[in-house]
Structure 1
Amino acid sequence: MNLGEQHFQREATEGDVGTRAVLTSPLTLEGESDVDYRAPNLLQRILSLLKNVSPGSDLTRFQLPPLFNIPKSQLQCYGESVYCVSDDILGRCASGESSLERFTSVVAWNISILRPLMFGVAPYNPILGETHHVSRGTLNVLLEQVSHHPPVSALHATDEKDNVEIIWCHYPVPKFHGTSVDTEVHGKKQLKLLNKGESYVMNSPKLVIRFFPVPGVDWVGNVTIRCQETGLEAELCYRGNSLLGRWANHRAIKGKIFMSSSLKTVYEINGHWDRTVTIKDISNGKLRVIYNAKEVLSGLKTPTVKDPKGVWSNESAVVWGEVSEGILKKNWEKAREAKIAVEKKERELVRERQAKGETWVPKHFTISYSKENGWDCSPNQKLVPPAPVVVPL
């Protein structure tokens, strides 16, 4: 068994005997994996790829060769940020005795869903109707690609034990700026504590991929978290690496928790989202840690196929299975051919629908769009069912 074969699981699924689900290990806290997927001379290859792209161009429709892909779909990356954890932060959100305690846990959860990313590689752009369905304990997570152009992803997760519901609608817009690619992540996340009657609404920071002077990937910008029922609000500012590369500023986060009505600050927030984050009680100056990235994001386990017959044919790990195998084995020609086949089939389906005058409708979500509010989605089912793919506890 070679190195690539040691780090993925390949399982037969219902129907097509040739169809396989390829599941790879989650990215680690350092943004790396136990397998380096990247091709050599990556920076030079990227600059060559972008040499004919004008600054300010929208890269939404830009197709990457497999050399620049990690063996995961973007849906899997979104899902992993929810179900790949080593600490039950969601449980603490639901069990907090006071509204302030619950809100603080929600802030910690919001920080936990940010993951370090590898420079020079990106996940696959999901095809229309692609799904990703995974369970971890009593938490069931379902994602669907509800639009391809523009690329809109929807997520629904429920935990009946903790009475928690999560609904996301993500719409990334990457733009090339000569020395960097900046991706605005539009849409909103909702975390609902059903037993408490509380709903928390939050946005996403911006993803910046820098080429010069030092190649790297950073989450930057402002995030707001609001709970209308309690009147609590948080403002978080994510800072990228400084030009001088000072470790003290690397992945720094600052912010505050305050009352919306009076704007009175209750807690000040400081730290680094890939290390520890503390809050300071303004009333007495006491500090305490609310988030420890090493505890939450260490020892992450790779999902496994528990019920092969239950895996859908449009599951991310199946759709991109052959492409992922090629990348893991660094067989770039096989990966390229497999990716072309996926994209060709997608274009054929589009032409068939157009010829019949059909409009594609998501299976698991109802979507809407307005100029004022952008894209939004609501799940068609109250609860997400248990998945055939599970994360070992």
Structure 2
Amino acid sequence: MQVTECDFGTKAVLTAPLSLEGEESNSKYKAPNIIQRILSLLTNVRPGSDLNRLQLPPQFNIPKSQLQCYGESVYSISSNMLSKCAEGETPLNRFVSVVAWSISMVRPLAFGLAPYNPILGESHHVSRGTLNVLLEQVSHHPPVSALHATDEKHHIDLLWCQSPLPKFHATGTHIEVEVHGKRQLKLLNKNETYTMTPPNLVIRFLPVPGVDWLGNATVRCQETGLEAELCYRGNSFLPRPSVHRSIKGKIFLSSMMETVYEINGHWDRTVTVKDVKTGKKTVIYSAKEALTGLKTPIVKDPKAVLSTESAVVWGEVNQAILQKSWDKAREAKTCIEERQRQVAREKTSREDEWSPKHFSVSHSKESGWDCSPTHKLVPPAPIVVND
């Protein structure tokens, strides 16, 4: 944990990123009788309901915002997989690297715990080496998060605009979170644009409690015609190590529907590709290599930290959760949530249209949410991850 006193008098509290060890280390935040408590929260929730408005007690929170979790999936990684995407000598080499990097963004989560719902206008700005990452919560209801990351040295531009939609299913056995929106990675010096979709997050209560990433995901590059289809699988009833957190798929040329590589493995262990012509297998992703020993970000320039920074907005709540001071955490969290509701009421009464600071946003039924950064490059951040 790293705590810094900022000029505006609020503590910025940064916590360790989610990692392969994160699921175990986060267990200290678990509340007793977790399944019964979760089910009691959902007693009055109707099947198919939008759960974004459900307010969780702090005992169910990890000490970080969902905005930070999105950012961590980009800047918290041991190996520099993102820069490797731009270094591949051929379009196929680069595409395989992008597929591997997209898999690295899937992180283990602990059952019964969730990050905070970001407030409107909340931001998160972190740098790692030459990679600068900036996020902003551009809508609260529905929740929409925008991410822009640039790396001038490696000619990389990354843009996300996404909105999670959690649903409580009629069987009462699980919650499924669909992530709507787009993820776009540009390799500027190669004139290649990659679009990606993530799998769904499934929180299962019965018969065996757990959190899984399940369903289909895609990676596409329009310029080269290469595509990847990925299927994330998990246990349904009986635990099966061969299926748990497994991933299968293929890389193919869309114009000819010709499969180039078959993808197999487990996203929390290793993933390989097999050349369909030669049968040669190559490891393209090692979770242990990528997600162990991750470092907590630190505040390098306290005076430059914005009051909207996630680590500041939720700083008091973070500190209370880490100290297990649940009454204090509940009071601080309630204050933030009530302030958010008050701002929404004032905005409605004045008929004001709130505008994001770092992005321009549009929405339509046909194309969904679209976010464009207000600046071409993301500046270096006052919060950094040291290599």
User: Which of 35, 38, 42 does residue 46 from structure 1 map onto?
Assistant: 38
1:194-343 equivalent positions in 2, closer than 5 A: 194-343=188-337
Letter of the aligned partner of 2:311 in structure 1? A
Aligned partners of 1:332 and 1:65: how far apart in 2? 9
Q: What does residue 190 of structure 1 align with?
A: 184
Gap runs ≥5 in structure 2: none
Counterparts in 2 of 1:42-121, with a 5 A limit? 42-121=34-113
Is the deviation greater in 190-199 or in 235-244?
235-244
1:272 Cα deviation from its structure 2 partner: 0.4
Equivalent pair of 1:27/1:33 in contact (CA under 8 Å): no
CA distance in 1, matches of 2:203, 2:348: 36
Aligned partner (choices 2, 9, 27) of residue 2 of structure 2: 9
Structure 1 residue 154 corresponds to structure 2 residue 146? yes
Three-state SS of the structure 2 residue aligned to 1:78 is helix
In structure 2, what is the equivalent of residue 3 of structure 1?
A: none
Distance 1:351 1:370 in 2: 24
Alpha-carbon displacement from aligned partner over 1:249-294 (angstroms, at most 9, x marks no partner): 1101000000010000000000000100000001111111000110
Q: In 2, are the aligned partners of 1:56 and 1:175 still within 8 Å (CA)? A: yes
Aligned partner of 1:367 in structure 2 is 361
2:166 matched to which residue of 1?
A: 174
Amino acid at match of 1:14: D
Secondary structure of 2:190 counterpart: coil
Q: CA RMSD in A?
A: 1.0
SS in 1 for 2:77: coil
Counterpart code for 1:170? Q
Aligned length: 384
| Residues 154 and 365, structure 1, Cα contact 8 Å, conserved in 2 | yes
Q: By how many angstroms is 1:37 displaced?
A: 1.4
TM score, norm. by length of structure 2: 0.97
Partner letter of residue 208 of structure 2? V
> Do the aligned partners of 2:21 and 2:292 also contact (CA within 8 Å) in 1?
no
How big is the shift at 1:31? 4.3
Q: What residue identity is the alignment partner of 1:373? A: S
Output aligned runs, 1:349-388, within 5 Å: 349-388=343-382
Letter in 2 for 1:25: A
Indicate if the aligned counterparts of 1:26 and 1:33 stay in contact, CA closer than 8 A.
no
- Aligned partners of 2:236, 2:243: CA distance in 1, in Å? 7
From the superposition, tell whether residues 161 and 33 of structure 1 become closer, same or farther in structure 2 (CA, over 3 Å).
farther
Residue 131 of structure 1 deviates from its aligned partner by 0.2
What is the aligned partner in structure 1 of residue 14 from structure 2? 23
CA distance in 2, matches of 1:370, 1:214: 39
Contact 1:86–1:299 (CA<8 Å) still a contact in 2?
yes
Contact 1:270 1:279 in 2 (8 A): yes
* Counterpart in the other structure of 1:123: 115
SS at 2:157 equivalent: strand
Would the aligned equivalents of 1:31 and 1:115 in 2 still touch at CA under 8 Å?
no
Task: Report the alpha carbon displacement of residue 33 of structure 1 after superposing the two structures with TM.
Answer: 5.4
Q: How far apart, in 2, do the equivalents of 1:355 and 1:175 lie?
A: 30
1:5 is aligned to none
What one-letter code is carried by the residue in structure 2 that aligns with 1:276?
Answer: T
Residue 43 of structure 1 aligns to which amino acid in structure 2? I
**Normalized against structure 1, the TM-score is what?**
0.96
Q: Deviations along 1:94-129, whole A, 9 cap, x unmatched?
A: 010000000000000000001010100100000000
Q: Which amino acid aligns with 2:201?
A: L
Give the distance between the partners of 1:379 and 1:33, measured in 2 at CA.
37
Is the 1:9–1:22 contact (alpha carbons within 8 Å) kept by the matching residues of 2? yes
Counterpart residue identity of residue 9, structure 1? Q
> Which amino acid in the other structure matches residue 13 of structure 1?
C
